[in-house]
């Protein structure tokens, strides 16, 4: 999928998408994933990214991804993960405080879809029904006729995220990821079954009703670090961060709660992801009927 900014400029192709195609669309990639997704391998990789040794990768990562380091805090980073989860300077991301506006939780590439009875949603290379995504049929039923938003972060994006409205947050629900082959017989292409680790909460929002916010981690190294359990939360307040690995946030809104901005809907319909920023307006409260 290609990206488009909110001024209508088409941006370069998605290298992260090409990597997914390599990893899941070739026999070599799938064989590599079979090794990399072993828990002990992920643990070793995660420990390395937390170590001082990993700092040697920071310069090359910045250059390859064209990261504007002037926008971020100026300090010595202790590890690659310390750099990856760096904080942005005050004032570089302005949160829209209009109570009728829905905001983006992060810097990302956004697509938006209606939730219908037979809807299927592709998230990080896996196709889910709403029930399989949440693993909770009763909760999923509350969002029929509503809206699903996919906020996809790529490796060069700011990897901290915020609450999209004020309200009362529930405890976090953690779902472990899985990866295995459906048919292990060696051949050029064979089916696999995978789900990424994910974590979600509900927010009883002051403006948009009951919202689901879900973080979806990278299959291998990426880690979800949420800051809060059940408590009151505030729009724009930092909710958490993703450690190394491209990651995704999914939001669910109930029927008749929000009107998504027209350009974002049109871009999704035309096969584009819309580039949006942390705290930026992406929709408006739907008037009561």
Catalogue the active-site residues: 107, 247
Rounded to whole angstroms, how far apart are CA atoms 106 and 277? 6
């Amino acid at each position: 999928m290609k990206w488009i900014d909110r001024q209508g400029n088409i941006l370069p192709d998605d290298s992260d998408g090409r990597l997914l195609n390599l990893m899941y669309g070739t026999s070599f990639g799938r064989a590599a994933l079979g090794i990399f997704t072993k828990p002990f391998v992920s643990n070793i990789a995660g420990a390395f990214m937390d170590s001082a040794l990993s700092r040697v990768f920071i310069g090359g990562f910045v250059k390859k991804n064209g990261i504007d380091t002037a926008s971020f805090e100026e300090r010595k980073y202790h590890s690659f993960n310390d750099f990856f989860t760096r904080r942005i300077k005050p004032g570089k991301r302005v949160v829209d405080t209009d109570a009728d506006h829905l905001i983006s939780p992060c810097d990302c590439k956004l697509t938006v879809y209606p939730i219908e009875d037979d809807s299927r949603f592709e998230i990080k290379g896996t196709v889910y029904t709403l029930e399989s995504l949440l693993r909770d049929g009763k909760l999923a039923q509350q969002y029929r006729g509503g809206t699903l938003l996919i906020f996809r972060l790529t490796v060069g994006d700011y990897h901290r995220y915020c609450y999209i409205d004020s309200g009362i947050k529930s405890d976090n629900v953690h779902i472990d990821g899985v990866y295995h082959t459906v048919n292990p017989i060696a051949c050029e292409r064979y089916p696999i079954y995978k789900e990424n680790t994910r974590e979600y909460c509900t927010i009883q929002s002051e403006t948009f009703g009951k919202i689901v916010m879900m973080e979806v981690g990278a299959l291998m190294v990426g880690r979800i670090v949420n800051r809060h359990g059940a408590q009151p939360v505030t729009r724009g307040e930092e909710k958490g961060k993703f450690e190394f690995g491209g990651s995704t946030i999914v939001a669910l809104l109930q029927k008749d709660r929000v009107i998504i901005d027209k350009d974002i809907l049109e871009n999704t319909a035309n096969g584009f992801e819309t580039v949006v920023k942390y705290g930026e307006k992406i929709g408006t409260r739907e008037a009561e009927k």
